Each structure stands twice: as C-alpha cells, then as structure tokens.
Structure 1
C-alpha cells in the first residue's frame, strides 16, 4: 500500500449486542471485500463489561453468524492503538461490544490516484447519519417520494428545438 495508488481510508464503529450479531451484515461486508470494493486494514473488536471496563476481544470470540475471520487476510491488527480503542469503548454500552473497521475504499483508488497525479488532494471527508439526511429530505420535499429520480416532463416551450428526448 502506498500513497500514490491508495484510495481514501475510512472507519466505522458498529455496536454489537450481547449474544453477538445475527443476520447477514458481516457476510455482506465479506462480499464487499471479495468484490474488491473495500480492503480491510484493521478490524478490532472491543467489549465493555458490566462495570464499564473495556477489553480487546478476538474476532473469533465474537459470535457472528456464518462468518469467520478469513476475509481479514492481510489486515493488520495494530493500526488502532489502546487510546483509539479506549475512546471507542467509552461510546458503547456496558455488556456490548463494538467492531472497529478501518478500511480502504479501493473502488475510489483510481480517482484518488488521478487527483493526486494532477496536483489535487482530499482535504476533508465526512459521513452524515442516514437518519439526519432522510429527515432533512422529508422537510425539503414535504414528504414527497424523492428516492426515484425525477425527470421533468418534456416542454417544447422551454426548449426551442422541441421536446427533450425521454
């Protein structure tokens, strides 16, 4: 991995309830890795006991339906240090655990490489909670269905050469 050919790097923290994660969430993550959409750089699981103390938990100790750790082949487990993990642990509820995934967006590597090659650099990147964006869109659209692309109806008056093709 080097600066010239790498994609943007993000992390996600997923709180996991006592008893483990059920369903297909991690198998969908494995699919993203298998298809080369992302590349895991580090996956560390932290847990908080009933007294609020945190400990690093092995991925194998985490109960994840139908997923083993082979999709992490080549990922480090040392990128996130104790201070990073302690900060994550403060945000999870006692008795729960959290998976912290640091990953490269390999799908964006060609764009990132071209930008760097042409003198540009990424200055900032942020994520917004989906719930906040959905609420804002509902306010802006008055609750209309905005999920389907809206195409204006052809209007000959607006286009002197005739209506736009569909």
Structure 2
C-alpha cells in the first residue's frame, strides 16, 4: 500500500464584523500550519456590502494576512459554486473567510488503518460549542 498524498479536507466558513477578517484569525491559522496539524489547501475572503453585493478575494490579494509566504496546495479547490453557496450565509456588511484545510493527523490515521486492513467508512463532526456545552452538563451532573 502506498501512502496517502492527502488526508480529509474540511471547508470552514468563519464570519467577521466589517469587510475583512481580524488579523488574529490569520495568526491562529498560521500557528496550525506551522505546527503541521493542518495544511492550507485553499483560502478565500468574502465580503458582502450593505447592499448585498459580494466581493471575493483570494489569499494572495490580502495585503496584511501574514500568510503571504504560505503556498496554497490546491488553490481553486473552493470552486465558484462552493463560494457562492457559502457566501449566502454572510450577512450584509460583514465578511467571512473560507479556509479549506487538510487534516494531516487524519491522513496519518487513515494510512495506518488502511495498512492494517481497516478503512474509514464515515466520519461525523460535532461542533466544538456543542461538545463543550455537553461536557459542562456532564460535569454538572457528576458534581450533584
């Protein structure tokens, strides 16, 4: 069995006040890239003006992202249809970033499972706020 070139990829749509993402967003993403936890496959910024018009910018068009030296592995993976579908979730006067991330740890897991005869048939994601709320409830119940 040969190694997997890529692991699972996820689209993240992260909303912001105003017309561009906060600099902290780029810093947080940079940390994950530098540690190797994720690889940035594609990145797009969407801004919707108060009239509802959508402006789409690629990462290399962002002047102050701090990610200018990061090579997008699959620029264009977020296709026009994906971008327009996600842009519908951005309220007027706000912006959002679409980050397509490869989960490198999941690639390693999938390789190891495959080499031992296993196969990932499906994955489900539970959003972090939901997990945290459930854990808070469980901890409360244990404390009673």
TM range (shorter): 0.7 to 0.9
SS in structure 2 of the partner of residue 70 of structure 1? coil
Deviation, structure 1 residue 123: 2.3
The 5-angstrom pairing of residues 84-95 of structure 1 reads 84-95=82-93
**Which segments of 5 or more consecutive residues in structure 2 lack a partner in the other structure?**
none
The 5-angstrom pairing of residues 55-74 of structure 1 reads 55-59=55-59, 61-62=61-62, 67-71=66-70, 73-74=71-72
> Aligned equivalents of 2:72 and 2:80: distance in 1?
21
Answer whether contact 1:43 1:100 (CA < 8 A) is retained.
yes
Answer whether contact 1:43 1:75 (CA < 8 A) is retained.
no
> Aligned equivalents of 1:84 and 1:22: distance in 2?
23
> Aligned equivalents of 2:127 and 2:54: distance in 1?
26
1:151 alignment partner in structure 2: none
Shift in CA distance, 16/75, structure 1 to aligned 2, threshold 3 Å: farther
2:4 alignment partner in structure 1: 4
**May I ask how many residue pairs the two structures share in their alignment?**
142
1:136 alignment partner in structure 2: 134
Deviation, structure 1 residue 61: 5.0
Deviation, structure 1 residue 42: 0.9
SS in structure 2 of the partner of residue 142 of structure 1? helix
SS in structure 2 of the partner of residue 86 of structure 1? helix
1:31 alignment partner in structure 2: 31
Q: Larger Rg: 1 or 2?
A: 1
TM-score (norm 2): 0.79
Select the structure that is richer in helix.
2
Structure number with the bigger relative contact order (C-alpha 8 A, sep ≥ 6) is: 2
1:80 alignment partner in structure 2: 78
> Aligned equivalents of 1:15 and 1:21: distance in 2?
8
> Aligned equivalents of 1:14 and 1:3: distance in 2?
32
Deviation, structure 1 residue 38: 1.0
1:163 alignment partner in structure 2: none
CA RMSD of aligned residues (A): 2.6
Deviation, structure 1 residue 109: 2.5
TM-score (norm 1): 0.70
